[in-house]
Chains A and B, each alone.
Chain A
Amino acid sequence: MLFNSEVFIVFCAIFFPIYFLCRSGYQQNSVTFVASLVFYGWWSWKFVFLILASITFNYLIGLRIRDAVSQALRKSLLFLAIFANLLILGVFKYANFFISSVIAAFATIGVDLPESHLNIILPVGISFFTFQAMSYIIDIYQKRIPAEPDYVKFGTYIALFPQLVAGPIVRSSFLLPQLEPRRRFRWANFWLGLEMFIIGAVLKIIVANRLAPVVDQFYGQYDQQNPLALLIATLFFAFQIYGDFAGYSLMAIGVGRVMGLSFPANFRRPYMAVGFSDFWRRWHISLSSWLRDYLYIPLGGNRGGTWGRSRNLMITMLLGGLWHGASWAFVFWGFLHGLYQVVQASVGEPFKNAMTALRYPGKLISRLFVFVTVCIAWIYFRVTDFGEATAILVAMGDVAAYSWAEVPNKVDVTIGLGIIAALVVVELVCEDTPWLKIYRETRWLRLGGGLILIQLLVLLGIFSGDAFIYFQF
């Protein structure tokens, strides 16, 4: 079920009245749990059993860790839980990747293994709910939170439909306490949730869905395109994936807000970043903070000097890349981002000082530099074939061959460029001026803004687009 589908409107029309008529938090959790399973089962009812198994397993392990008398047993249970969660991911997401990688590795030493492929369908959002469950278990082990004794409440936390399939990844310490009391309908939540949902819908239905067909067309026949068309496709994909993912996150946060739940922000104008670590503080914040807290810091974090920090960064980013998909292209994408951060940490200081001296123009140059290098990494993320991605990158370097006349589909390209220009202006204004604060504090401005956004959705939205990109992760 997609947020931008007619069936979701029907789903909400049934769910919300029942939810707010419930007389206790427990009843609300029960309704939400069932609704979440329906929401998830809409793609494939078979996977409802998978998520129920994951919930039950992690729920029981959590209780066993709580009750374990010895540290050794606690540790064993922790490893068992991590192993089992990673095994689920490994089987459903990475099995074929591992098989093909092993075959390819043997082929390089002259041993030809027979081609093999498991017929496995990737369950939607598996990486999100698995990571959420793993953080719950680790937090219990580290005694940051108590184990949750209420199965329904825990199930609601893992399967909560607004953020089930594409995040944000919400920590149990943040969400479980919110699931305790009864959530009453509040107009303030309704208006804020509605506003977030509309802005998210604009990002998805206008920005992402408008740009996607051009990206598909130009990258799909990359060897037939003028280099300028490839540059446009790269620019469009950078904003497509931003609109797609940030849009979904905002819609999820908005739906949660109407329910009386607060989720952490997942994006904070990432293309306004002036450095690579800054970028990761703004892009997919819930994943990057998860990786920081459960991988980078346990690995040693910033300790161990330049070498230790660089090693920890690279491992974190490589695994972060692999989290996105079972392909070496995603690993390479993670490698590039790791490399960017290592280089920035090692030799970025003089550049940063020079840009700081230039004041605002320096800030803009830094942003542009970060954006361009992030776009280079996006090519590998989108195309997934290393050779093709490199060919696109090389072709784009032939600036002398750029020809607007040879760019096909000019109407859609022009609309796309207009949308990106508008988005960049809005983000610059929000980032660099006090207008966002003024906007937030002025009710009629927000109402007018909402009115314009709804009209833009009607006039420019593509409602028949594919599912959200991050669902596959």
Chain B
Amino acid sequence: MRSFTSNSRNLIALVALVLAVIAFDRFMSAGLQRLLNASEFRFSLLYDGRAAVDVAAFGNSRAVHTFYAPELGGGSCKRVMNFAYNGLSMSAIEALIRDYIERNPTPKALMVELSGVYALGGGDDQLTPFMERGSALRDRILGEEGTAVLWNGFFHSFRFNSALTVRALAYLGRSDQSWINRLTPIRQPGKAPPEDVQRRRYEVDDASLAALERIIALSKENGIELIPVIAPYHPTVTRQIDSPYDWIDVVKARLGEEIDILDLSRALPGDAEFQDYQHLNIIGARALAVTFNGRIAQSPGCGGSMLEGS
């Protein structure tokens, strides 16, 4: 009898613990969602419909440190916002653009940095804090993350397990648009990497190319001018990446002459403009701002004309 009582008591305690874990999880999930919604972080604004801009920029980490929004704007398009984030694939970028168009006023132009067509890091799963807020992003993440779906179903707060949550919380009450590499010129640029550094290769992903084509089609459907951009690489990129520029030819061949790509891959030869071999710093971003502003000013939606500009 005593053991039965002890068993019952412990079983009740176990069930109570599970229920408490679930309740605590739901409470944390709801609280974090509110905080993220209130943040001034780029995706908080995007998913909260607070991102009414003339030009929206997208891409991966190379775009984060290439499009310096506070200094961008051309013609009548003065409001530019950067929605790029580290490690995103072109498919994730497509999902973000779809959700952006669905939840915000249609922009005049989209700037998209194209290096998301090759997958190096695979950081799409970082976007989980916002997956319940946009159907395209949700479909994208649920389509890729197998077991994560199961855990997300049990622990609702599991989707906030991402560096994005920390970033969004850091931007409560202040804009993130000035986030960029600062004061960090590339260190020892002349020094070759150690011999055991594994050389990598940019493999263009066919699914990402298809996503890029869908972005192009989506822009046309919505009357948005698409400005495809290839951000600069430091000349030493050839030491760590095999044939680092080949992917650009693959993309150009796939898209054809019709799409005018702003190819800046070799635009900056110096050390001062780079943080590392594939990311600019604020000096490099500012150096390119003039080029971007000129290009934006040529956009028909911004008062210019592509024919005049070309």
Contacts and interface: CB of A to CB of B under 8 A. Distances in A.
B163 A451 contact: no
B24 A451 contact: yes
Contacts of B167: 411
Interface stretch (B183-191, B214-222, B257-265, B288-296): B183-191
Given A411-B166, A412-B163, A455 B25 contact: yes
Interface stretch (B66-74, B108-116, B131-139, B153-161): B153-161
A90 interface: no
Nearest to B164: A411
Contact of A461 (B161, B183, B276): B161
Interface residues of B, number: 31
A379 B207 CA distance: 42
Contact of B160 (A412, A415, A459): A459
Contact of A459 (B161, B183, B184): B161
Main secondary structure of the interface of B (DSSP, over half): helix
Contacts of A458: 25, 155, 157-158, 161
A6 B183 CA distance: 43
B20 interface: yes
Interface in B172-207: 182-184, 186-188, 191, 193-194
Given A451-B21, A451-B24, A459 B187 contact: no
Q: Which of B160, B194, B275 lies at the interface centre, i.e. has the most chain A CB atoms within 10 A of its CB?
A: B194
Contact of B20 (A187, A226, A405, A451): A451
A408 B276 CA distance: 10
A226 B188 CA distance: 11
Given A224-B276, A411-B166, A414-B166, A187 B161 contact: no
B157 A223 contact: no
Contacts of B25: 455, 458
B183 A405 contact: yes
A356 B76 CA distance: 73
A275 to B, nearest CB: 37
A100 interface: no
A451 B161 contact: no
Contacts of B7: 187
A180 interface: no
A6 B147 contact: yes
A447 B21 CA distance: 10
B301 to A, nearest CB: 35
A84 interface: no
B161 A450 contact: no
Contacts of A459: 28, 157-158, 160-161, 165
A187 B10 contact: yes
A190 B275 CA distance: 52
A296 to B, nearest CB: 37
Contacts of B276: 224
A447 B17 CA distance: 8
B6 interface: yes
Interface in B1-57: 6-7, 10, 17, 20-21, 24-25, 28
B158 A225 contact: no
Contact of B6 (A187, A406, A412): A187
A415 B17 contact: no
A406 to B, nearest CB: 5
Interface in A372-427: 403, 405-406, 408, 411-412, 414-415
Contacts of B182: 405
A179 interface: no
Interface in A6-53: 6
A415 B187 contact: no
B163 A223 contact: no
A213 to B, nearest CB: 11
Q: Which of A221, A405, A458 lies at the interface centre, i.e. has the most chain B CB atoms within 10 A of its CB?
A: A458
A156 to B, nearest CB: 28
Given A411-B166, A414-B166, A447-B17, A460 B183 contact: no
Interface in A342-376: none
A82 interface: no
Given A450-B17, A454-B21, A405 B184 contact: yes
Contacts of B275: 408
Contact of B163 (A187, A405, A411): A411
Contacts of B163: 411-412, 415
A455 B28 contact: yes
Interface string B60-104: 000000000000000000000000000000000000000000000
Contacts of B21: 451, 454-455
A286 to B, nearest CB: 31
Nearest to A221: B193
Given A405-B183, A451-B17, A223 B6 contact: no
A190 B21 CA distance: 18
A454 B147 CA distance: 18
Contact of B191 (A223, A415, A455): A223
Interface string B229-246: 000000000000000000
A226 B194 CA distance: 17
Nearest to B162: A459
Contact of A455 (B157, B165, B187): B157
Nearest to A448: B20
Contacts of A403: 183
Interface string B265-300: 000000000011000000000000000000000000
Given A187-B6, A451-B21, 13 more contacts: A223-B191, A224-B187, A405-B183, A405-B184, A406-B184, A408-B184, A411-B163, A411-B170, A447-B20, A455-B28, A458-B155, A459-B157, A461-B161
Q: Report the 9 A-B pairs with minimum CB-CB distance, sorted nearest first.
A: A187-B10, A458-B155, A405-B183, A224-B187, A411-B163, A406-B184, A458-B158, A459-B161, A454-B21
Interface of A: 6, 187, 190-191, 221, 223-226, 403, 405-406, 408, 411-412, 414-415, 447, 450-451, 454-455, 458-461
12 contacts: A190-B10, A406-B183, A406-B187, A415-B163, A447-B20, A451-B20, A455-B21, A455-B28, A455-B157, A458-B158, A459-B28, A461-B161
